[in-house]
Amino acid sequence: MAGSPKRPVPVKTVAVMALLAAAAVLLVLLAVRTFGLVPQVVRERNATPTPAPFYGNVMVTTPDPSAPTPAPALRNGSRGEEVIRLQQRLQELGYYQGSIDGQFGGGTEEAVMRFQQAAGLAADGLAGEATCAVLYSDAAPSALPTPTPVPTPSPTPVPGGSAKGYIRPDGLPLVVNRKQPLPEGYRQYDLVEMNSYCDSAVVKIKYADTWAEREAVDALMVMLRAAEAEGIGNWQISAAYRDVAYQQRLMDNKVKDLMKSNGLSAAKAKQAAKNTVADPGTSEHHLGVCFDITVPGKSFSGTKQYKWISAHCWEYGFILRYTKEKRSITGFSAEAWHYRWVGQPHAEIMHRENLCLEEYVEKYGTP
C-alpha cells in the first residue's frame, strides 16, 4: 500500500470544533461582563443626558441661589425703604395720594387694596409676593384718571408754590431752626387769612392779617372743636405765618431798642438781639404751619387749655415743638404756646417715641 490515502476529516469532528470555538467566544464575552470591562461606547451612551424637552416660548430659569429670600408681606404698620418704594409705585399708578414717608398706614393699605381689586387679586391690603409681582410689572393696571379738581379762586395775594415746601421730598416735615434756615427761594403753598377763614365762635385771631397754610388751619380747627366739645374753649391765636421781611423788622426794632436803651453799639446790639429774636430765615413761623396758641389775657402754661392741648395735640397731627427736655437739640427754650402741625403719622410716632422734630427726622429721614 503506497501511503494510506488521507482520510477525510469526519463531519463529527468539525461539529465538535465549531462548538468549542463558540464556547470560547462565549467565555470571552462573559469575562468582559464579569470584570467590568464594559466597552467605552456603552458607557458613553449611558452618560449622555436625555435631551430636555423644548417648551417653546416658556423660558425655563434656574432660581438664582444668590437672590435674597423673599421678604415677608408689607402690611399696615410696616415701615422702611420697601414701603417707600411701594408708595412711590402706588402713587405712580394713581392709587396713592399720601406722603411718601415709608410708613405703611391706613392710606397705603387702602391704596394696596384698590390696586389689588383692579388687578383681580384678593384685596387683603397686604403687599405680598403675588401682589408685588404684578405691581412692579409692566402689566400693572393703573387707576382710572381722576377728574381734575375745579380750581377754587383764591383770594390770597401771597404767591404760592406748586409744592408743599413744609414737607420734605421724603415725606417728612421740613425742619427750620437756627442751624437749618428756610431754604433759598422757599415759597408758600396755600395760605389763608385766618380772621375770615376761621369760625370766630371757636377761636379768636388776635391780630388782623394773620395768615397760615390751609392744611394746618383745617387741622387746627378740628383740634379746637374737639377741645370745645370737652368743655375747653376760649382759644386765641397770637401768631401764625410770618414772612422773612416781618422777622427782619422784628430784629431791626430789637436792635434799635437795645442801642437806644442800653447805649450799645450797632454790632453789640445786633449780637444781643439774637438772644431773644430768631434771625430772619430761622423762625419756624416762616413755614405757615405753626401757631402760637394762647388764652386772652393769661399766661398760657398754667391754664387748663395748655393742659388739654399739650396732652392731646398729637392726636390731631400737632406737636408741642419746644420743650425744656429737648432744649439742647431744638436750640429754643420751652414755649408752652408754640405748636407745629406735622400731620400723621409723624405726630403720633414722635409722641410715642418721645422724639422732637430734629430727632425724628434724623431717625427716619432719607439723607
Site string for Zn ion, 167-206 (x = CB under 5 A): ----------------------------------------
**Among residue numbers 286 through 305, which ones bind Zn ion (CB under 5 A)?**
292
How many residues interact with Zn ion (rule CB under 5 A)? 2
Pick the closer one to Zn ion by CB: 292 or 359.
292
Q: Which residue is nearest to Zn ion (CB)?
A: 338
Q: Which residue has the cell 439742647?
A: 328
Tell me which residue of 361, 186, 163, 156 sits closest to 285, measured CA to CA: 186
From 335, 348, 358, 359, the catalytic residue: 335
Pick the closer one to Zn ion by CB: 116 or 294.
294
Q: Sign of the C-alpha dihedral, residues 304, 238, 280, 184?
A: positive
CA of residue 221 relative to chain centroid, distance: 28
Does the annotation mark 228 as catalytic?
no
CA of residue 38 relative to chain centroid, distance: 68
Q: Which one of 5-13, 38-46, 215-223, 285-293 is the stretch in contact with Zn ion (CB under 5 A)?
A: 285-293
CB of 285 to Zn ion, least distance (A): 6
CB of 322 to Zn ion, least distance (A): 8
Pick the closer one to Zn ion by CB: 110 or 292.
292
Cβ pair 125, 119 in contact under 8 A: no
Integer Cα distance of 127 and 108 in angstroms: 10
| Torsional class of 83: left (φ above 0), alpha (ψ -120 to 50), beta (otherwise) | alpha
What are the Cα distances from residue 358, in Å, to 33, 176, 282? 84, 9, 14
Strand order in the sheet with 290-294: 203-205, 235-239, 290-294, 338-341, 318-320
Pick the closer one to Zn ion by CB: 326 or 338.
338
Pick the closer one to Zn ion by CB: 89 or 242.
242
CB of 279 to Zn ion, least distance (A): 15
Query: Nine-digit cell at 160?
Result: 404760592
CB of 173 to Zn ion, least distance (A): 15
**Among residue numbers 296 through 355, which ones bind Zn ion (CB under 5 A)?**
338
CB of 153 to Zn ion, least distance (A): 31
Q: Which residue has the cell 431791626?
A: 252
Q: Which residues bind Zn ion (CB under 5 A)?
A: 292, 338
The residues assigned a catalytic role are 335
